[in-house]
Structure 1
Amino acid sequence: MTHFEEGRPLFVRSSESNFNLANFMRTHLFTAFGAMKIGMDILLKEEGVELDEVLGHGGIFKTEGVAQNLLAGAFNAPVSLMETAGEGGAWGIALLASYMINKDGSESLEEYLNNKVFADQEVKTVSPDPKDVEGFEQFMDRYKQGLAIERTAVDHLK
């Protein structure tokens, strides 16, 4: 979405920015969703796709409520997490292997996951906070402007 094949870790701020640990960490989390947000904006704002809910999964969701709330703000949509949301890719591959070994041909992967893996999972859903939505939009304006800085760093720091 950003047309980068590689990157250079950068932290750039204006002289008016409030530089503190909380904002520094928030920037890292926002950036983790930055390229995805660009793609989602194409789908939502340009293509007219409607997003009812996002089901989050992966290690970024290990700390309850943090990335979930930020992602809800980024996508301006409810984000749901199951108890297992913090498990990473290896866990997902293990589930796929279990399905492949145990399938009898009568149920799809979706049915297997819904009926056997996630059937008893507790799900927590958060709705977007308007302040997070607005903050993420402001961040994305600067994020997009900063892509030129990133391009220069990639081109000149080998």
Structure 2
Amino acid sequence: QLYGVFGTLALGMRVLDAEGVALDRMFAHGGMFRTAGVAQRFLAGALGAPVAVGDTAAEGGAWGIAVLASYLAHAEGTDLATYLDRHVFAGSDVTVAQPDPGDVAGFATYLDRYRAGLAIEAAAVAAL
């Protein structure tokens, strides 16, 4: 299941890579990150970039959109990264997982196989 979710993100990262966009660090949150280190490690491997998880990790989408609304209302010329560092995550305990080369290679293999299977899936749909 995690490969499917993170595989989709990794596929998106390939598109960004092709456009020359690099990811310095992903800050992850949501219920899946309540258990320290597990999903974080696999996400780092899927993205090929460090993944930070704070002590607010259990908060999900509603919390995230509230943070963005607060940013829009109070940022006054401050970029989002600075706003998050100074106002949202200031004083929070943050753990950063670096991508494991074995996990990165595993996701690359998964994505290659996934992409190869898309033609099979398209043929099956056409045959229906």
Q: For this structure pair, what is the TM-score category when the shorter chain's length is used for normalisation?
A: 0.7 to 0.9
Do the aligned residues in 2 keep the contact of 1:99 with 1:109 (CA within 8 Å)?
A: no
1:121 alignment partner, one of 80, 92, 100: 92
Aligned residue identity for 2:63: W
Q: Residue in 2 aligned with 1:143? A: 114
TM, length-normalised to structure 2 = 0.77
- Which structure's CA Rg is the greater one? 1
SS for the counterpart of 1:55 is strand
Residues 110-158 of structure 1 show CA distances to partners (whole Å, capped at 9, x for unaligned) of: 355333321111110111111111111111112212333444566678x
TM, length-normalised to structure 1 = 0.65
Does the alignment pair 1:33 with 2:9?
Answer: no
Q: Which has the higher helix share?
A: 2
| Runs of 5+ consecutive residues of structure 2 not aligned to the other structure | none
Q: Residue in 2 aligned with 1:6? A: none
What CA RMSD, in Å, does the superposition of the two structures yield over aligned residues? 2.7
Q: How many residues align?
A: 127
Aligned residue identity for 1:30: Y
1:130 and 1:106, CA in 2 relative to 1: closer, same or farther beyond 3 A? closer
**1:53 Cα deviation (Å)?**
1.7
- CA distance in 2 between partners of 1:34 and 1:142 (Å): 11
1:124 and 1:141, CA in 2 relative to 1: closer, same or farther beyond 3 A? same
- CA distance in 2 between partners of 1:153 and 1:83 (Å): 45
Residues 24-62 of structure 1 show CA distances to partners (whole Å, capped at 9, x for unaligned) of: xxxx10110222212211222x22333222222223322
